[in-house]
Structure 1
């Protein structure tokens, strides 16, 4: 299966934002070095200001400077994670080549994981760009032991792109100092001199990780013609020429919605087990829904220590989290009824459906805490992204920590589990960003109507959302099904979740909704220079699957949700027409609050306790 790419306006806007800054620069035939900028500073500044005015951005008073390129343009592009940032700068490379003949580019990344993700992006987009531009980039990853590729960068035809991680030229390690040394096997030349002679255009991916004085000084040795910086979270500002922030991305439905499941309770193994159970439960619910549509569902679990997943002191080498996963997975899948989805599950053993991505100790070959990678998981998770998306690939649950925090994403991550305590050194936005990309089916085509990311947090819903929003504007975040972890009754027999008395729960939900539900008619305000106009948005015929949406958001059965809806007063139920999406959100939130406070009952299953609707409150149909 190959991912399919199509030209999208919001990405084209980002490409033109950079390319238009060089309007008036003549086309020069590609050579072994990029032609110098022929625009004087005043013309370049005028171009930058024109682009900024077009985008509604603050206008630069003077061209920004940086120690990475003191006398060259330094342009910033801000794009929310999951909106195709890498695709955009590859297309920008091709556009600059088409317009001006520039053909030598360097993509600088902060680490190996991002480097491999970028290399893969060049590979899978090659055919797409060949159709658009008649040619495609010719990338390679810098390796101090394979300098023949650097010779191709210097003399090769077409668009040459070197991908290099920061450590390869900014580290004191012996192998990384080779870039500054005269090498006998390289004609007694220094690699850095060959690179700088080409006057490359430098693209920095995640520049917030490459901002130290030493890093900037090292970058300046490339003698960049210009520096283009791409990130969702710039820390140091230069000339910002394009912005697609998180709020805009959510409003334009360019990324997944976020639903948070907060797990509150005493820290410890019982709480982690609840989280793992909730991740599996959410995964199976989404997978059951999407299996027939050919959409592979993946879940990503961030953990605190490798030993929690891989414990080499045990005979089976399963850490506590892996052991919990196996037990909870078997328990939750046991009750899946016969049918195509049941047969799909039966074809995948629990041992093969989870995979760890961690550093590997070169001496022992064992997983350890760190930033490198396990060879097998490395190829599957980073290099064989399409295979991970295939229904034929058994891996559906991926365990990791810092190694996948940034630089890797997969469009079909639908569930995330934060199985570690939050701290100030780990960005929630970076972690959540791994699952924001829109999903694809087995043909590699985007799928609409299914794009919601469920995040199972290790803290309350409100605390997690507040911390997430504190790191930057985000789109709408909904309150998913809450789970409560109870203190274990005894060490050998922990009780971590309570069953619900469905009859009482339905009654309390109906009472709460009849009393407190408010859904005003949806309104949109259009502001212009001469005033503003307000439009009502009452939907006479909505195609929302009301039952299905509420089941997915609350975790209740269709029978129980139906009982709640049919128990509502007609006036309450009629609020649906005012604003169907908001009705779903408000009702799901209020039901989730009642679930969080539901008393335990061990006598009957939830499905056996569905109550009879109240007399006089029947509705003939649930709108879809």
Structure 2
């Protein structure tokens, strides 16, 4: 494919004209020497007047026009948000200045090598040259010279050929534009430009910087926030190179402080800002992708995690316990230590063994250096959850992008913490666990998606996924700083594709017609400023980039609008970048929006169009509204907002406010984080019911206290094929033709592998104990009895036997304990609950995520417990919106707020609570409802069914103890009104 550049995009053309229109044909004197630019007449009054004309045309805010000034050179600033095409605009400007004014010597200065590589690739690419020559009609080409560092050599010191070519290129040649590209380090840390002992020179200059200065160059600075005016590189440009004009292009500019004492303030260091395409305008005009931030939300809402910082070979493990507020505490644990030292959530889990860069836990898990895991989902690493979420979002987007007339290749970018979690280090026993986990999750997702496509016409997408599945390692690639010195051919190929072959990465098929499934990229913040790919739709930050980083810079790699398979930029619809982070940056969206809006000028001029628009909305005449604003001293007679009254003005007239449109940066977690008020009056009606169902009860079993009974049952479980081999079988197929010349795949003899992960007998007993709460003594006695009665059975003491026993014991409890247990009220006093404080008074609010992830607009009826409607399933939505006359008060029971013990070993919490009128109208009836959005009872899993049966017994016991509560199940086809009517009739 060829990337197709578009000429004349309005937002880019404005940037080009903003610079070009500052000058007039008479602004320059003809050059006297063939190697110099025309001489800019630095008439400050004339230039400032021309700058103001451009600023007026581009509606530059007075706050910025007040910073206009000209010194020994002309500085012009262009602000363009990341992703809007700065490189294209400054390249177009080079051509336009050459066409209009014969400017022929340009120096492009960038801060880093990656940005330099990107600029070099763009400026020298044949398709770019063809675009500016044929499409734009510039009858000229850029002759690019790239200044590089050189190693010291003995013998002659040759004058830099790049400088020689740049200087000696004739300004009289109308078909060639001389452009020299360099990076910051070569201006500050290298003597390549300042030495004067070369054996030869150019045009009588033996010091390269003097030769460059003599050309009277125009300097273009990319990413000006890296070049403050106090910085060494900027001073080198102004004092040594002494350009006629410096043009700065950036999304971010350095700041400066002016004034003293009370008058002291910090503002952006703009100087003659002639074009301001800020982030707000870029988002609102759909010039870049919108952003959908998301973080993994643990079910228990715990906001902490553990990171494995370092593993001292076979001796100790260093942990960091991290909370959402970014506070952390370090722990050093050794073999045998309990993880509960780090967090009480790990009670019962100890470190069993420590390797060179991994350790094993008593629950059978292996963890690796650099890994993170949440305290309430320690069975799966935190990174694994984020990877899974990222893959889910990627496939959502990819499916949409594939279902187009011209498909869009969808890419995802992952920033990781440890290169060796992705690439296995030579001669190391450490597994590349992150890569392995990613490949496993990707394969699982492909296997999940493929069957859903079998009945569709998506043959191309099916082929794409099948090709991905066949070569899962080719779906991803990585680039890290170490790769620049790596000699591995495969790694070199990956790096070349990521850094220098954008077209290949954007192509669904190779030049040979083969499917190219590579679309997942891994890096360690190496791919940042200077690297971009328009088809990155998901960025996942598995490592922190530092809290002080610009949020826009972090997402910048994915903001550009995508291109389709033919290289066309898609600009007529909205796109979203999925940005996935961990909970420690849950406020990312808010910070990003604040950053965008803080970058706007603090005041502005009201246009007549805006005044008319707001007047119409307020049903008032525009003249009357103008007089009203003038009288209140919100504006002056020239429509300028009075700065000191800005806050009051926007508060009273919000329709005039400027800022980012609400839907441009969204937070998928945001709605579940909002606070919902608990209505005190509604709670007072529910108080008695709520306190009753929150009383602590203990579950007692009829037979488990009988030692012989329990031992016999455990023996029976051991006899149920607990000790079996785990066998992996391969499926071998031979591709051949039959006698009828029909090609087919025929199964042949495969191979089988037996897996045996043996563990010590004591660990075997401990693991079962920790997962079942069975006494170790009882497990041991039952196993001895089993071995005496089954001498022909080989007892395999391994992880799989533990898993088999735990699973079968869970099934046994569900099948055998139902009907053989009772609930007894404990003597524990009622403490604080999800709705109340310890003293019994209701809380003022609750987090929305506790009562529903989805939100319904509108004000709830006074009967509802909360001041907003939230729900999880369509059936729950129907329940909360149902207006039932018999209901006095009702509410959603906060998620996991009740802890009814069950025979499954897990607690149970139902969904809704109702207080309704009895038939006679003078008493009330309490109803608890379990809502299941399934078609029928048989759809429920056995474990869920067992929990519900336990709940029935619990509420029956509650009734026996003197507080009547009716417990009802609701399946999808049953309405809540029907349930309440049945309860009232049967009472």
Q: What is the TM-score when the length of structure 1 is the normalising length?
A: 0.74
Tell me, in whole angstroms, the C-alpha distance in 1 between the residues paired with 2:235 and 2:415. Answer: 34
Instruction: State which drifts further: 240-249 or 471-480.
Output: 471-480
Deviation at 1:194, TM superposition (A): 2.3
Residue-by-residue CA offset, 1:498-541 (whole Å, 9 max, x unaligned)? xxxxxxx9xx8699526559xxxxxxxxxxxxxxxxxxxxxxxx
Whichever structure has more strand as a proportion of its residues is 2
Give the 3 Å change call, closer, same or farther, for CA 564–20 of structure 1 in structure 2.
farther
Deviation at 1:260, TM superposition (A): 1.1
Q: 2:290 aligns with which of 237, 252, 257?
A: 257
Counterpart position of 1:209? 226
Counterpart pick for 2:481 among 356, 359, 362: 359
> What secondary structure sits across from 1:439 in the alignment?
coil
State the shift of 1:564 in Å.
8.8
Determine the structure 2 residue equivalent to 1:90.
Answer: 91
Q: Which whole-Å CA distance do the structure 1 matches of 2:591 and 2:857 have between them?
A: 32
Q: Which moved more, 1:269-278 or 1:81-90?
A: 269-278
**Is 1:299–2:381 an aligned residue pair?**
no
Question: CA separation in 1, counterparts of 2:857 and 2:596?
Answer: 36
In the alignment, what sits opposite 1:540?
none
**Aligned counterparts of 1:107 and 1:566: Cα–Cα separation in 2:** 63
Are 2:852 and 1:513 aligned? no
Decide which of 443, 463, 471 is 1:343's aligned counterpart.
Answer: 463
Cα distance change on mapping 1:611 and 1:403 into 2, 3 Å: farther
Match of 2:79 in 1: 78
What's the secondary structure of 1:409's corresponding residue?
A: coil
Give the drift of 1:456: 0.6
1:468-513 deviations in Å (ceiling 9; x for gaps): 23433366211236899xxxx99x99xxxxxxxxxxx9xx869952
Distance in 2 between residues matched to 1:128 and 1:413, nearest whole Å: 24
Asked if residue 328 in structure 1 is aligned to residue 452 in structure 2, the reply is no
Alpha-carbon distance in structure 1 between the residues aligned to 2:487 and 2:234: 35
| SS of residue matched to 2:193 | helix
Is the aligned partner of 1:43 residue 2:46?
A: yes
1:432 aligns with 2:555: yes
CA distance in structure 1 between the partners assigned to 2:437 and 2:910 by the alignment: 23
Contact 1:262 1:482 in 2 (8 A): no
The separation in 2 between residues aligned to 1:120 and 1:82, in whole angstroms, is 17
Matches of 1:19 and 1:189, distance apart in 2: 34
The answer to which of 316-325 and 197-206 deviates more is 316-325
Q: Who is 2:242 aligned against?
A: 223
Work out which of the residue numbers 382, 387, 412 in structure 2 matches 1:271. Answer: 382
> Where does the alignment leave 5 or more consecutive residues of structure 2 unmatched?
151-158, 255-268, 298-302, 306-371, 374-380, 454-458, 510-515, 598-659, 673-769, 772-798, 801-847, 861-871, 884-893, 897-907, 912-931, 941-969, 978-987
Q: Would the aligned equivalents of 2:145 and 2:165 in 1 still touch at CA under 8 Å? A: no
Unaligned runs of 5+ in 1: 368-373, 494-504, 518-559, 572-592, 618-624
Does 1:53 find its partner at 2:56?
yes
Q: Distance in 1 between matches of 2:878 and 2:910?
A: 24
For structure 1, which segment, 465-474 or 286-295, has the greater mean C-alpha deviation from structure 2 after superposition?
465-474
Which residue of structure 1 aligns with residue 119 of structure 2?
A: 118
Task: Out of 325-334 and 97-106, give the one that drifted further.
Answer: 325-334
CA distance in 1, matches of 2:440, 2:385: 12
1:437 and 1:511, CA in 2 relative to 1: closer, same or farther beyond 3 A?
closer
Q: In the alignment, is residue 457 of structure 1 matched against residue 581 of structure 2?
A: yes
- Out of 463, 468, 476, which is 2:592 matched to? 468
In the alignment, structure 1 residue 4 sits paired with structure 2 residue 13: no
Q: Is the 8 A contact 1:510 1:564 kept in 2?
A: no
Equivalent pairs, count: 522
Classify 1:139/1:510 alpha carbon distance in 2 versus 1 (closer, same or farther; 3 Å).
Answer: closer
Partners of 2:535 and 2:93 in 1: CA distance? 26
Describe the shift of the 1:565–1:78 C-alpha distance in structure 2 as closer, same or farther (beyond 3 A).
Answer: farther
8 Å Cα contact 2:25-2:100 kept in structure 1: no
Q: What SS is found at the alignment partner of 1:137?
A: strand
Distance change in 2, residues 1:446/1:185 (3 Å):
same
My pick for the range that moved more, 199-208 or 128-137, is: 128-137
Is residue 356–residue 377 contact of structure 1 (8 Å, CA) maintained in 2? yes
Contact 1:25 1:37 (8 Å CA) reproduced: no
Do 1:510 and 1:568's aligned partners in 2 also have CA atoms closer than 8 Å? no
Inter-partner Cα distance in structure 1 for 2:410 and 2:531: 16
Deviation at 1:29, TM superposition (A): 6.5
SS class of match (2:188): coil
Sort the Cα spacing of 1:169 and 1:383 in 2 relative to 1 into closer, same or farther, 3 A: same
Equivalences for residues 596-615 of structure 1 within 5 A: 612=972
Partner of 2:891: none
In structure 2, relative to structure 1, the CA distance for the partners of 1:362 and 1:295 (3 Å cut) is closer
| Local SS of the residue matching 2:526 | helix
Which residue matches 1:405?
Answer: 528
Q: 1:106 to 1:477 in 2, by over 3 A?
A: same
Deviation at 1:606, TM superposition (A): 9.0
CA contact under 8 A between 1:416 and 1:455: conserved in structure 2? yes
How far residue 563 of structure 1 moved from its aligned partner, in angstroms, is 7.9
Offset at residue 315 of structure 1 (A): 6.1
Corresponding residue number in structure 1 for 2:538: 415
Distance (Å, rounded) in 1 between the aligned partners of 2:211 and 2:934? 70
SS at 1:301 equivalent: strand
Compute the RMSD of aligned alpha carbons: 4.0
- C-alpha distance 115-566 of structure 1, shift in aligned 2 (>3 A): farther
Q: Deviations over 1:261-304 (max 9, x none)?
A: 12244322422111111111111121122124321000011122
Aligned-partner Cα distance in 2 for 1:136–1:568: 68
> Helix, strand or coil: the match of 1:3?
coil
Does the CA contact (< 8 Å) of 2:450 and 2:465 recur in 1? no
Question: C-alpha separation between the residues in 2 aligned to 1:561 and 1:195?
Answer: 69
DSSP-derived class of the 1:75 partner = strand
Aligned to 1:480: 668
3-state SS of 1:424 partner: coil
Whether contact under 8 Å (2:77, 2:271) holds in the other structure is yes
Q: SS of the counterpart of 1:127?
A: helix
**Distance in structure 1 (CA, Å) of the matches to 2:408 and 2:525:** 27
Q: Which moved more, 1:331-340 or 1:47-56?
A: 331-340
1:37, 1:179 → 2: CA distance?
25
Paired residue for 2:144, among 139, 145, 156?
Answer: 139
Residues 394-444 of structure 1: CA deviation (Å, up to 9, x unaligned)? 321111133212111111000010111352353321120111111110111
The answer as to 2:393 corresponding to 1:282 is yes
**Inter-partner Cα distance in structure 1 for 2:113 and 2:227:** 14
Greater shift, 15-24 or 200-209, is seen at 15-24
Distance 2:910 2:521 in 1: 33
In the other structure, the counterpart of 1:501 is none
Distance across 2 between alignment mates of 1:353 and 1:11:
35
Give CA-to-partner distance per residue, 1:122-156, whole Å, 9 cap, x none: 22422221131222322232125593333222233
In the aligned structure 1, how far is the partner of 2:48 from the partner of 2:412?
46
CA distance in structure 2 between the aligned counterparts of 1:428 and 1:255, rounded to whole angstroms: 15
Once the two structures are superposed, residues 154-192 of structure 1 have per-residue CA deviations (whole angstroms, 9 ceiling, x without a partner) of 233421111111112211xxxx32222232265682222
What's the counterpart of residue 234 of structure 1? Answer: 253
Question: Are the aligned partners of 2:40 and 2:244 in contact in 1 as well (CA < 8 Å)?
Answer: yes
Question: Separation in 1 of the partners of 2:439 and 2:971?
Answer: 35
**CA 1:511–1:441 in structure 2 vs 1: closer, same or farther (change >3 Å)?**
closer
Structure 2 Cα separation of the partners of residues 73 and 606 of structure 1 = 71
Partner SS state of residue 21, structure 2: helix
Q: State the distance in 1 between where 2:122 and 2:974 align.
A: 57
Q: Aligned partners of 2:283 and 2:882: how far apart in 1?
A: 33
Identify the match of residue 395 of structure 1 among 518, 527, 531: 518
Shift in CA distance, 259/364, structure 1 to aligned 2, threshold 3 Å? closer
Q: 2:296 aligns to what SS in structure 1?
A: strand
CA change 1:511–1:347 in 2 (3 A) is: closer
